[in-house]
Amino acid sequence: MRSPIVIALGVLAAVAAAARENPFNNPSGGYRFAANMPTTLSWEPTTDGTVTLKLQKAGAINPTSGITIAANIPNSGSYVFVPSASLGPGSDYTIEIIDDNDPDKINFTPQFSITGTTGTATELTGSPTVTGSASGSSSLSHARTETDNNLFVHQNRFLC
* Per-residue pLDDT tens listing for the chain (160 residues): 555 554 544 444 444 444 699 999 999 999 999 999 999 999 999 999 999 999 999 887 988 999 999 999 999 999 999 999 999 988 999 999 999 999 999 999 999 999 999 987 666 655 444 433 333 434 333 333 333 333 333 333 333 3
Instruction: Supply the pLDDT for residue 5.
Output: 57
Give the count of domains, the chain: 1
Beta bridge partners of 130: 140
Q: What is the pTM of this model?
A: 0.68
Instruction: Supply the pLDDT for residue 138.
Output: 40
Within-domain flag for 79: yes
Beta bridge partners of 27: none
Instruction: Supply the pLDDT for residue 15.
Output: 43
Task: Judge contact between 113 and 91, C-beta under 8 A.
Answer: yes
Within-domain flag for 118: yes
- Report the C-alpha gap between 111 and 96 in whole angstroms: 11
Instruction: Supply the pLDDT for residue 111.
Output: 96
Within-domain flag for 2: no
Task: Judge contact between 39 and 31, C-beta under 8 A.
Answer: yes
Instruction: Supply the pLDDT for residue 126.
Output: 55
Within-domain flag for 14: no
Task: Judge contact between 112 and 46, C-beta under 8 A.
Answer: no
Within-domain flag for 105: yes
- Report the C-alpha gap between 79 and 137 in whole angstroms: 15
- Report the C-alpha gap between 132 and 134 in whole angstroms: 7
- Domain with 38 in it: 22-159
